[in-house]
Each structure stands twice: as C-alpha cells, then as structure tokens.
Amino acid sequence: MYDNDTENNLRRALTEAGRRLVQKNLVQGTWGNLSARLDEKFMLATPSGLDYTSLTPDDMVVVNIETLEYLGKLKPTSERKLHAAIYRDRPEINAVIHTHSEYCSVAAAARVEITAVDDDMRKLIGETARCAAYGLPGTKKMTKATVEALKDRNGCYLANHGAIAMGTSLDEAFAACETLENSTKRLIEAKL
C-alpha cells in the first residue's frame, strides 16, 4: 500500500506536469490526461473536464487499476481504462501522458508509423512510433489497440486522436511526450 508522502508528492508532480503540458503547447484546453502509479493496485489520474492551469493537487483522483472504481467527488479522466490497462500490461511503467499535441495529432490523423529520427527518440520511445488502430475514445477497442501498439515502445499515436507516452517516472514520461512531438515535427518538416 502506498504512503501519504508518496501520494502527496505525486499529486503535486501531476499538477506541475499538467501546467507544463500547457506551457509547452502539448495540450489545448482540457484535452489530454495524465496519471501516475501509486502502487500495484492504485493510480492517481487527472479529473475529467478541468483546465490544467486551475488544477490543484487535491483535484487528482485515486483510481483502482483493476476495477476502475475511484475515490472522491471528482470523476477521473474518461481515459482511465486506457491508463489502467497500460499499468496492468507494463508493470515497469509508473506514469502515462495522453496529449493532443499539434504534430502528433497530424501523424495520428494520417495513421502513420514513423521511424526514430534520432537517439533521443530511440531511447525514450523505441525504434518506431506506431499508430494504434482506430477506436472511439474511452472504449475497449481503443484501449486494446493502444496497448498493442505500445508493445516494446514507450509512445504511440492514437488514430485520429493524438498520442500517448509513458515512462518509469513522470519526468521520463514527459520527456517521451516532448520527444515524440519534436521528432514528429522534424519528420513532417523534412517530408515537406
């Protein structure tokens, strides 16, 4: 079972990461979501529909990774199924970030797979960034397709829906997020 210090630190870290996503232009409005593993049974997730700039640590929602039940008054992100499925499939992963960043959204709409353009992408994402097969947001179909596209990878595109990145820590997941967006931008610009 996780302790209060761990939970409080992760609540603050998720709040800061949400603000950084806005500052770095990786999300717009209330789109996208973040989570961090508390232990083998629970995760903290951003709430549904709240702007990142107004989030507080107390707004983060504790969610059971197995049952998807949650504690508190705020409803967690509608993508909690996806986050939980990743944690169940990949025990080494401790943070997941879903974005609607500009260039990753273009690649997701084009439903492409890109080859790593540099060592940073190879290290943080993998040899390629795949595109998960299309599924409506929040559905089992999208969740299953995304978990499959993430095999041996730490990031992928979600067909017509943006991107997802993850890591062993929130900092690593954020770096993977930035790297995927920057690598995708470089590839698109090179193709044009």
- Is residue 7 among the annotated active site residues? no
What is the CATH code for 4-191? 3.40.225.10
Kindly report, residue by residue over 59-90, the tens digit of the pLDDT.
Answer: 999 999 999 999 989 999 999 999 999 999 99
pLDDT greater than 90 at residue 20: yes
Do 68 and 81 meet the contact criterion of CB atoms below 8 Å apart? yes
Q: Given this model, what pLDDT does residue 95 score? A: 98
What integer is the mean pLDDT of 143-147? Answer: 98
Catalytic residue among 7, 40, 66, 79: 79
Distance CA(163)–CA(31), nearest Å, equals 12
What integer is the mean pLDDT of 33-53? Answer: 95
Kindly report, residue by residue over 99-116, the tens digit of the pLDDT.
Answer: 999 999 999 999 999 999
% residues pLDDT > 70 (the chain): 99
The number of C-alpha atoms within 13 Å of 144 and in the hemisphere containing its C-beta is: 4
pLDDT greater than 70 at residue 1: no
**Residue 138 burial (CB count, 10 A):** 14
Q: Given this model, what pLDDT does residue 3 score? A: 80
Distance CA(188)–CA(169), nearest Å, equals 29
Per-domain boundaries in the chain: 4-191
% residues pLDDT > 90 (the chain): 90
